[in-house]
Structure 1
Amino acid sequence: MSSKQQKSAREAKLAQARKEAQASERKRALLLAGASGLVVLFIAGAVGWAILSEREERAASGDLSAVKTFDYTGGNHVEGKIDYKESPPVGGEHNAVWLNCGTYDEPVPNEHAVHSLEHGAVWITYDPELPEADVDKLDDALPDTYTLLSPYEGDMPSKIVISAWGHQLEVDSADDPRIDGFIKEYRQGPQTPEPGAACTGGVTPETSLVK
Structure 2
Amino acid sequence: MSSAKNSDQRRQDRAAVLQAHWAAEAKAARKQKVLWGAGGVTAVALVGALVTVAVVTDPPPPTRQDIEIAGLETFEDLDAEHVNSPVDYAQDPPVGGDHASTWLNCGVYTEKVPKENAVHSLEHGAVWAAYDPSALTEEEITAVQEALPDTYAVVSPYEGLESPITLSAWGAQVAVETPDDERIEDFVAKYWQSPEAPEPGAACTGGLDGPGRVA
Superposition TM-score, scaled by structure 2 size: 0.71
Q: Which residues in structure 2 correspond to 1:70-85 (within 5 Å)?
A: 70-85=75-90
Name the counterpart of 2:59. Answer: 50
For the structure 1 residues 105 and 72, does the alpha-carbon distance in structure 2 shift closer, same or farther, using more than 3 Å as the test? farther
1:151 maps to 2:160: no
1:209 maps to 2:188: no
Which whole-Å CA distance do the structure 1 matches of 2:85 and 2:62 have between them? 43
What stretches of structure 1 of length at least 5 have no aligned partner? Answer: 1-35
Q: Deviations over 1:3-62 (max 9, x none)?
A: xxxxxxxxxxxxxxxxxxxxxxxxxxxxxxxxx9898545313235525x639xx99xx8
Which whole-Å CA distance do the structure 1 matches of 2:133 and 2:108 have between them? 14
Which whole-Å CA distance do the structure 1 matches of 2:70 and 2:84 have between them? 35
Q: State the percentage of identical aligned residues.
A: 47
Q: Deviations over 1:110-148 (max 9, x none)?
A: 010000000100000000111111111111111121000
For the structure 1 residues 37 and 83, does the alpha-carbon distance in structure 2 shift closer, same or farther, using more than 3 Å as the test? closer
Q: 2:128 aligns with which of 123, 133, 139?
A: 123
Name the amino acid aligned to 1:44.
Answer: T
Q: Deviations over 1:87-120 (max 9, x none)?
A: 1111111111000000101110001000000010
Deviates more, 1:184-193 or 1:66-75: 66-75
Name the counterpart of 1:112. Answer: 117
Q: Which residues in structure 2 correspond to 1:149-188 (within 5 Å)?
A: 149-153=155-159, 155-188=160-193
Question: Which consecutive segments of 4 or more residues in structure 1 shift more than 6 A?
Answer: 36-39
For the structure 1 residues 38 and 82, does the alpha-carbon distance in structure 2 shift closer, same or farther, using more than 3 Å as the test? closer
Which whole-Å CA distance do the structure 2 matches of 1:201 and 1:89 have between them? 22
Superposition TM-score, scaled by structure 1 size: 0.72
What stretches of structure 2 of length at least 5 have no aligned partner? Answer: 1-43
Which whole-Å CA distance do the structure 1 matches of 2:193 and 2:142 have between them? 23
User: Max radius of gyration: which structure?
Assistant: 1
- Contact 1:72/1:91 (CA < 8 Å) preserved in 2? no
- Contact 1:74/1:118 (CA < 8 Å) preserved in 2? no
SS for the counterpart of 1:54 is: coil
Q: Which residues in structure 2 correspond to 1:17-56 (within 5 Å)?
A: 40-47=48-55, 49-51=58-60, 54=62
Name the counterpart of 2:203. Answer: 198
Query: How many matched pairs?
Result: 170
Name the amino acid aligned to 1:138.
Answer: V
Name the amino acid aligned to 1:145.
Answer: T
Which whole-Å CA distance do the structure 1 matches of 2:103 and 2:48 have between them? 49
